Amino acid sequence: MKLIVKVFPEITIKSRPVRMRFIRQLAKNIRAVLRDLDPAVVVNGVWDNLELETRLTDAKALKDMTERLSCMPGIAHFLQVDEYALGDFDDITEKCKLHFGDSLEGKIFSVRCKRAGKHPFSSMDVEKYVGSKLRRECGAAGISLKAPQIEVRMEIRDQRLFVIHSQHNSIGGYPLGALEQTLVLMSGGFDSTVAAYQIMRRGLMSHFCFFNLGGRAHELGVMEVAHFIWKKYGSSQRVLFVSVPFEEVLGEILGKVDNSHMGVVLKRMMLRAASRIADQLQIDALVTGEAISQVSSQTLPNLSLIDCVTEKLVLRPLIASHKQDIIDLAEEIGTADFAKHMPEYCGVISVNPKTHAKRNRVEYEEQQFDMAILERALENAKLVPIDRVIDELGQDVQIEEVSEALAGQIVIDIRHPDAAEDEPLEIAGIDVQTLPFYALNARFKELDDSRQYLLYCDKGVMSRLHAHHLLSEGHANVRVYRPS
């Protein structure tokens, strides 16, 4: 199968060296993302379009390939085509007839042709000739350029003809790896996940930094959603997940800082810590999911006070976004379900929080804070490659596993809904229920506590992690199902 990959339009207005660098990076990213599906995939082109050739024939693998390309920064859209040597107009007509002839009878259609190279004819000449002949020979009802039922599309490039079967849109932006790196402050909610997506979509390689205020459940939830975003939109690059234990920092703020200033001080401590981590990783920009005046710490005066603790550039891609627009985009990119079920944590709840905090007062409050606690948090920060974060989490978790489900037990398939739908788990005589991992912690308490539950996932890692957490929460009726 052959695909023509159309690059993000802004790439085409760059200078020649920049344009070629971006397109080379995009080709490299495509090969990296598709390598496990087709190690022999061929991606060529250094100036305009990229041409991708694969020998994949399996329907599921082709679907996976399409989904991955549809989520890749740098691609505007891509076309599935058949390629032929360019002949005369009659030959072009026959090639179009071969692919569209059977579907034109009784239909209104149009012919669209794009052309690149030197030819003794124009695109319009091709459209008129092919359209007229197809109408006569295929029993079409007519031709309409404004409202066709079927579009016969083709591209002519030098001495090659491409007949287009379908078009798939992607997310645009610049290729990951072609621009700078950032450190995204990730809480796992709607705002931070959408901000991470926006930054990645623009082509900025994004590492993830999580400040743990809520224990193991919150850390696990944020790791899962960060891994999801990376896997779907950024897996061409290896990035880090950084987890900073911030419970002691929060405790110090609750005990030493005036109630109305707690929110601003906490954000300042997070930026201080993130800046140190960014220095370590040689990153110049931080990213947050803050939107102007969404909460008290996000007024312009407070954001200014927060930013002044760092020399790093702080990017806020959602700064002028409405909350509902953020939620809608989270639904579109697949992070909303994670955010809805993110475990709650005991954050800073101020009474009458300051919306216009004064710098001298904030600095006075911070004088009461023991900065050695912040240093300890940084010393205990964990940096893990995002592609290994779930596996490494599960290495030291020992949970009872069973290879066979018994009558009366319930198997809970905790895989992502897409995976559960593509390959449903069926066990003769056993009740199998689907409950995605991101909803498990919140909804497990609703289940019948007199029944035994076996958690299932592909590798057994996620099921071990969630079983371990549920057991630690006092649910003794949980094990892991690992069929032999």
Rg from Cα positions in the chain: 27
Q: Which amino acid is at 219?
A: E
> Pairing relation of β-strands 108-116 and 142-143?
parallel
**Residue 165 host element (H or E):** strand 160-169
Cα–Cα distance measured from residue 87 to residue 467, given in angstroms and rounded to the nearest whole number: 64
Q: Which residue from 263, 224, 229 is spatially nearest to 334, judged by alpha carbons?
A: 229
* Active-site option among 71, 113, 138, 457: 457
Contact 377, 230 (CB under 8 A): no
Catalytic site includes residue 457: yes
Cα–Cα distance measured from residue 308 to residue 244, given in angstroms and rounded to the nearest whole number: 21
Contact 224, 390 (CB under 8 A): yes
Q: Which amino acid is at 6?
A: K
Q: Write the secondary structure of 303-358 as one string of H (helix), E (strand) and C (coil).
A: HHHHHCCCCCEEECCCCCCCHHHHHHHHHHHCCHHHHHCCCCCCCCCCCCCCCCCC
Indicate the annotated binding residues for ATP.
Answer: 185-186, 267, 289, 298
Cα–Cα distance measured from residue 273 to residue 369, given in angstroms and rounded to the nearest whole number: 14
Active centre residues (catalytic): 457
